[in-house]
């Protein structure tokens, strides 16, 4: 029983394409997050959702848009992909916001060619 799952695990696509990464958690958590592991291997918060409301939106390009059809899902849609978008993207969830420990998905390695 995977707690936080992401699909796909690997995604190779060309510049200019639009792609989505899906995330689902079966932990009953009320907050979900998207992180980007940058080129220096640092973990950078992109978005978080609490009860389907966007709570934070870091300085990410508006080509990135989170979509949450329900509390258990937070998908990441990326328009007009650029070479610099190549990275590993992690989804995570927690209960009651940042006070609760976060459970991470396995990551999606996005490669833009």
Partner 1 sequence: ILNVEQSPQSLHVQEGDSTNFTCSFPSSNFYALHWYRWETAKSPEALFVMTLNGDEKKKGRISATLNTKEGYSYLYIKGSQPEDSATYLCASPGGNYQLIWGAGTKLIIKP
Q: Interface with partner 1 by CB under 8 A: which residues?
A: 31, 33, 41-45, 48, 50, 55-56, 90, 97-107
Least CB distance from residue 29 to partner 1, whole Å? 12
- C-beta of 23 vs 82, nearer to partner 1: 23
Ramachandran class of 112: left when φ > 0, alpha when ψ lies in -120 to 50, beta otherwise: beta
CA distance 17 to 50: 29
- C-beta of 14 vs 40, nearer to partner 1: 40
- C-beta of 72 vs 106, nearer to partner 1: 106
What ranges make up the beta strands (E) of 51-107? 53-57, 64-67, 75-78, 87-94, 103-104
């Amino acid at each position: 029983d995977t707690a936080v799952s992401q699909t796909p695990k690997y995604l190779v696509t060309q510049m200019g394409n639009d792609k989505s990464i899906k995330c689902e958690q079966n932990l009953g958590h009320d907050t979900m997050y998207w992180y980007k592991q940058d080129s220096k291997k640092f973990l950078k918060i992109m978005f978080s959702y609490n009860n389907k409301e966007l709570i934070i939106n870091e300085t990410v390009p508006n080509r990135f848009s989170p979509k949450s059809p329900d509390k258990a899902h937070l998908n990441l849609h990326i328009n007009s992909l650029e070479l610099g978008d190549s990275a590993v993207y992690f989804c995570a969830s927690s209960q009651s916001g940042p006070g609760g420990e976060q459970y991470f998905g396995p990551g999606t390695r996005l490669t833009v060619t």
